Amino acid sequence: MTAHDLENKTKVSAIKQTGVKPHAPRKRSLYDNVTRQFNRAADLMGLDPDIRKILGMTQNEIIVNFPVKMDDGRVKMFTGYRVQHNDVLGPYKGGLRFHPDVDIDEVRALASWMTWKSAIANIPFGGAKGGIQIDPTNYSQTEIERITRRFTFALANNIGPEYDIPAPDVNTNAKIMAWILDTYLSMQPPHERQRCIHVVTGKPVEAGGSIGREKATGQGVVFTIEEWAKDHDFDLSKATYILQGSGNVGSWVARLMNPGAKLIAVEDITGAIKTPDGINPEEMAAYVKKHGGVAGFPGSAPISHDEFMSTKCDIFIPAALENQITDTTAPMLQCRLVAEGANGPTSPEGDTILIERGIDVIPDILCNSGGVIVSYFEWLQNKRSEFWELDVVDEKLYRKITCAYAKVRETTKQYKTDWRTAAYIVALSHLEAVYKERGIFP
Ligand code: NAD
Spatial distance between the Cα atoms of 96 and 147, rounded to a whole number of angstroms: 13
- Residues belonging to the chain: 442
Res 283 pLDDT > 50: yes
**pLDDT tens digit string along 86-97?**
999 999 999 999
Query: What average pLDDT does the segment 173-182 reach?
Result: 98
Res 24 pLDDT > 50: no
- Ligand 1 neighbours (beta carbon < 6 A): 168-171, 217, 244-250, 267-269, 293, 319-321, 341-343, 368, 371
Residue 314 confidence (pLDDT)? 98
- Decide: 240 and 275 in contact? Cβ < 8 Å: no
Spatial distance between the Cα atoms of 107 and 94, rounded to a whole number of angstroms: 10
**pLDDT tens digit string along 127-159?**
999 999 999 999 999 999 999 999 999 999 999
- Decide: 174 and 209 in contact? Cβ < 8 Å: yes
Calculate the alpha carbon distances from 144 to 71, 154, 177, 306 in Å.
10, 15, 12, 34
**pLDDT tens digit string along 341-397?**
999 999 999 999 999 999 999 999 999 999 999 999 999 999 999 999 999 999 999
Residue 2 confidence (pLDDT)? 35
- Residue 270 CA: nearest ligand 1 atom is 11
Instruction: Give nearest CA residue, ligand 1 atom 36.
Output: 342
User: DSSP string of 154-195?
Assistant: HHGGGSBTTTEEEEE-TT--HHHHHHHHHHHHHTS-GGGGGG
104 burial via Cβ count (<10 Å: 0-12, 13-18, 19+): middle
Give percent of the chain above pLDDT 70: 94
Query: What average pLDDT does the segment 174-188 reach?
Result: 98
Pocket perturbation via mutation, ligand 1, pick of 118, 221, 269, 347 by most ligand atoms within 8 A of CB: 269
> Taking all residues of the chain, what is their mean pLDDT, rounded to a whole number?
94
Spatial distance between the Cα atoms of 9 and 296, rounded to a whole number of angstroms: 45
To the query of whether residue 129 is one of the catalytic residues in this protein, the response is yes
Cα of 174 vs centre of ligand 1, distance in Å, is: 15
- Decide: 260 and 236 in contact? Cβ < 8 Å: yes
User: DSSP string of 293-314?
Assistant: SSTT-TT-EEE-HHHHHT-B-S
Instruction: Give nearest CA residue, ligand 1 atom 15.
Output: 269
Res 14 pLDDT > 90: no
Long-range contacts at 51-60 (CB < 8 A, ≥ 24 apart): 51/431, 51/432, 51/435, 51/436, 54/86, 54/435, 54/440, 55/86, 55/115, 55/428, 55/431, 58/83, 58/84, 58/85, 58/86, 58/108, 58/111, 58/112, 59/84, 59/85, 59/86, 59/87, 60/84, 60/158
